Amino acid sequence: MTRVTIAQMISYGHHRYPGRLFVVEGTDGSGKSTQLALLYQWLKAEGYPVFFSEWNSSPLVKDTTRRAKRRRLFTPTTFSLLHATDFADRTERNIIPPLKAGAIVLADRYIYTAFARDVARGCDRAWVREVYKFAVKPTVGFFFRAPLDVAIDRIASARPTLKYYEAGMDMEWSDDEEESFKLFQGKILDEYDHMVSEFGLTQIDATQSIRVQQRQMREIVGRFLKEKLKEKVVLPK
Amino acid sequence: MKDIKFYGTALPGLEIEPYSGKLIVIEGTDGVGRSTHVALLRTWLESSGHAVLDTGMTRSVLAGRGIKNAREGHTLGRLTMQLYYATDFADRLENQMMPALRAGFVVLTDRYIYSAIARAVVRGADPEWIRSIYGMAVVPDAILYLRVRSTEELAGRVLGSGSGFDYWESGMDLGLGNDYYDSFVAYQKQLLREFDRMSGEYGFHVIDASRPVRRVAAELRRAVAKVIEEEPLTAAKEITKTEPPEKIKPSVTPTVKESDTAEKVKSA
């Protein structure tokens, strides 16, 4: 082997960085984004360098995703791969560099979202996991679990109409949006339930009050924080 | 008719049904003359009555434009680039190549998964990882690999084409050389090594592309003819006893009458 200048790809579980990575997962309407926002405020107030990384946020991929959703160009495979592309850009740009610099990274949705959705759409379980092998293993992966009917009620009251892919309409399980959404979310929840033990996710009961959930979250995150992490980190952009 | 075979896990939601088309891959490093030969093959196949679809990297409706824009900025990370290309490939496979194969077309593809694998591995990707992503790919009927004897020769061809060196085709993101020329030669050498490694693994039909275009084209035509002839010959076995061979497949190769040609000339 004479590949001199290039480092081999590091895979899940083998990254060693001084920073911390906390991710939140859960079905739509589980309240995970609210919890992450509260955690962010707390960590900032405590003086830690914190960075936010959201699902579907890569500047290189965003336009393609938006256009594909609007024109309904996706198949389960291309839906999976384009989201993986977006995630790769996030990893290379917004996750690994801050972690290397010793910062705390908070991610709203992570690889488990892809595993749940893509498998619900019929992609092969092992294949999807292989695609995301380059991901950094989170310090803690929170799974906010809300029973299906609770999550659906929350979504229904928050949004007047469901989006095509969000409701799983591309799978043609049902002509009725709400029916399709319920079926899709049910499959997603099953996948999450399987992943709790597979990936050692930390389950939080999302039917509890917001304050109780936040207390539990801070207690767990607190175990992984050190004063040293507060030292200033300098980041490229 | 032929059963679909995948390298790894089959595409989800795809009916595994036999198809009558032919999938022919033209592979080779940058500047080797792939697009010239695809164009020549297309004309030749069409003139003998075969419907042809040609496709190539970044030509997907879904991701083509996105990739081109991302390449412009030179801020495309390695993993991101590899997955973007995989997305482009999957879109073309599902929406261009598979439908054409089902409809009985000859699909000529300028590069396939092998270029993508070579580029990824040269950039430090785990060879197993990139191969399993492309497990969704259909095993082609033929992989015609255009190989040159030296990378210096490639550099000459790229310059000769008038477009000059491209940032990514020169592997400038890898920091292999001080200028585009050095980098191009070093990068293409590494790609060649990967292609050679894959040659046995995937069963490439290696064609010496250092010869004149005319000779390379003739060899390509012979190789393609072998692939497309296969089916009619076996299907026609019983008939050959009673009928002369030229009448076996009238629907595939219609004899062109003088009047047809005259019309074509007029419309052209």
Global pTM reads 0.86
pLDDT for res B258: 41
pLDDT for res A224: 95
Residue B78 has pLDDT above 80, yes or no: yes
Nearest CA to CA, how far is B266 from chain A (Å)? 40
Which carries the bigger pLDDT value, residue A235 or residue B214? Answer: B214
A15 touches chain B (CB under 8 A): no
Average pLDDT over residues B166-185: 90
Q: Within 10 A of B251 (CB to CB), how many other CB atoms are there? A: 7
Closest CB from A7, A11, A126 relative to B124: A7
> Do A130 and B132 lie within an 8 Å CB cutoff?
yes
> Do A63 and B69 lie within an 8 Å CB cutoff?
yes
Say how far apart CA B222 and CA B108 lie, in whole Å: 15
pLDDT for res A128: 96
Angle between helices B78-92 and A76-90 (to 10 degrees): 170
SS3 B170: coil
A85 touches chain B (CB under 8 A): yes
pLDDT for res A97: 94
pLDDT for res B73: 76
Name the band, by pLDDT with cuts 50, 70 and 90, for residue B71: confident
Q: What is the pLDDT along chain A (237 residues), one digit of tens a residue?
A: 344 445 567 888 888 899 999 999 998 888 999 999 999 999 999 999 999 998 888 888 999 999 999 999 999 999 999 999 999 999 999 999 999 999 999 999 999 999 999 999 999 999 999 999 999 999 999 999 999 888 888 887 777 788 899 889 999 999 998 899 999 999 999 999 999 999 999 999 999 999 999 999 999 999 999 877 887 666 554
Which residue of chain B comes nearest to A10, CA vs CA? B126
A73 touches chain B (CB under 8 A): yes
The number of angstroms, rounded, from the C-alpha of B91 to the middle of its chain's C-alpha atoms is 15
Residue B243 has pLDDT above 50, yes or no: no
pLDDT for res A10: 81
Say how far apart CA B135 and CA B144 lie, in whole Å: 20
- The label of the residue with tokens 């009917």 reads A149
Residue B124 has pLDDT above 60, yes or no: yes
Residue B53 · residue B108 · CB < 8 Å = yes
Alpha helices in chain A (DSSP H): 32-45, 62-71, 76-90, 96-100, 111-120, 125-131, 148-158, 177-199, 210-222
Taken in order B224, B227, B233, B235, the sign of the CA dihedral is negative
* CA distances to A172, B238, B252 from B242, in Å: 51, 8, 19
Residue B229 has pLDDT above 60, yes or no: yes
- Which helix (H) or strand (E) segment holds residue B101: the answer is helix B98-102
Say how far apart CA A133 and CA A11 lie, in whole Å: 5
Residue B53 · residue A68 · CB < 8 Å = no
pLDDT for res B162: 75
Residue B267 has pLDDT above 80, yes or no: no
Nearest CA to CA, how far is B62 from chain A (Å)? 6
Which residue of chain A comes nearest to B135, CA vs CA? A127
> Do B66 and A8 lie within an 8 Å CB cutoff?
no
pLDDT for res A27: 86
Residue B157 has pLDDT above 90, yes or no: no
Which residue of chain B comes nearest to A58, CA vs CA? B80
Which carries the bigger pLDDT value, residue B239 or residue A165? Answer: A165
B128-137 pLDDT tens trace: 999 999 999 9
A120 touches chain B (CB under 8 A): no
Which residue of chain B comes nearest to A66, CA vs CA? B62
- Which residues from B are below 8 Å from A91, CB to CB? 79
The mean pLDDT value of chain B amounts to 85
Which residues are CB-neighbours of B214 under 8 A, at least 6 positions away? Answer: none
Which residue of chain B comes nearest to A68, CA vs CA? B62
